[in-house]
């Protein structure tokens, strides 16, 4: 006869449960917990995926709106650059035209016969007062003392006379007060 005692038998401990059934129950409970945990994880993963999809859609939508705004801004920028270039060209053209018109106005003023006197071919002396010189010429050459001169100034650059290279002449421009006509005689 076998005198050895079996370990952990139910009869020794006083309970009638089967250890195999107990283990099987434990494994089933753990497996059920594992399945429940897996379901919970799947549910959380699905929720995260949905949230991620919504965030991606939202970001894609924002990106599309920003790209559209960027295209609109680029179009506006090109238009502003075109208008700026066009405006700059117009300003440059207008500036050139204004300078040309100023030159023409100055030329017309210098050569107008109404109230301007132009004296050409007279030798220039340093420090000479043009106003006094013109009054003197009008008095001596034309016998006119009644003419009032508003201003007198050199006109144009000094010129070398073609007869004698050592003599420099400078034209004078004089403007009479309004309402007076310049004398039309010329003096040789």
Q: What is the Cα–Cα distance from 144 to 171, expressed in whole angstroms?
A: 20
Nearest to 154 by CA among 124, 176, 115: 124
Q: How many helices (H) and strands (E) does the chain have?
A: 3, 5
* Model pLDDT, residue 172: 65
Residue 137 burial by CB count (10 A; 0-12/13-18/19+): exposed, middle or buried? middle
Based on its alpha-carbon atoms, the radius of gyration of the chain, rounded to whole angstroms, reads 56
Nearest to 148 by CA among 115, 114, 109: 115
Mean pLDDT by 10 residues, the chain (188 residues): 51 65 91 93 95 96 96 97 96 97 84 71 77 85 81 70 54 63 51
Residue 175 burial by CB count (10 A; 0-12/13-18/19+): exposed, middle or buried? buried
* Model pLDDT, residue 188: 45
Q: What is the Cα–Cα distance from 142 to 17, expressed in whole angstroms?
A: 154
Q: What is the Cα–Cα distance from 183 to 179, expressed in whole angstroms?
A: 13
* Model pLDDT, residue 179: 55
Q: What is the pTM of this model?
A: 0.39
* Model pLDDT, residue 44: 94
Q: What is the Cα–Cα distance from 135 to 26, expressed in whole angstroms?
A: 134
């Amino acid at each position: 006869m076998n005198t050895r005692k079996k370990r952990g038998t139910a009869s020794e401990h006083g309970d009638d449960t089967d250890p195999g059934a107990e283990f099987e129950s434990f494994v089933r409970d753990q497996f059920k917990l594992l399945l429940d945990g897996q379901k919970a994880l799947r549910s959380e993963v699905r929720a995260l995926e949905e949230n991620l999809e919504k965030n991606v859609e939202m970001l894609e939508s924002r990106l599309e709106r920003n790209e559209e705004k960027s295209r609109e801004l680029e179009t506006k920028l090109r238009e502003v650059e075109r208008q700026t270039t066009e405006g700059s060209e117009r300003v440059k053209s207008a500036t050139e035209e204004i300078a040309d018109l100023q030159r023409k106005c100055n030329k017309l003023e210098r050569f107008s016969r109404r109230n301007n006197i132009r004296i050409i071919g007279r030798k220039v002396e340093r420090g000479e007062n043009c106003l006094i010189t013109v009054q003197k010429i009008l008095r001596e050459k034309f016998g006119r003392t009644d003419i009032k001169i508003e201003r007198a100034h050199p006109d144009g650059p000094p010129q070398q006379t073609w007869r004698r290279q050592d003599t420099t002449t400078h034209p004078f421009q004089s403007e009479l007060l309004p309402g007076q006509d310049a004398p039309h005689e010329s003096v040789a």
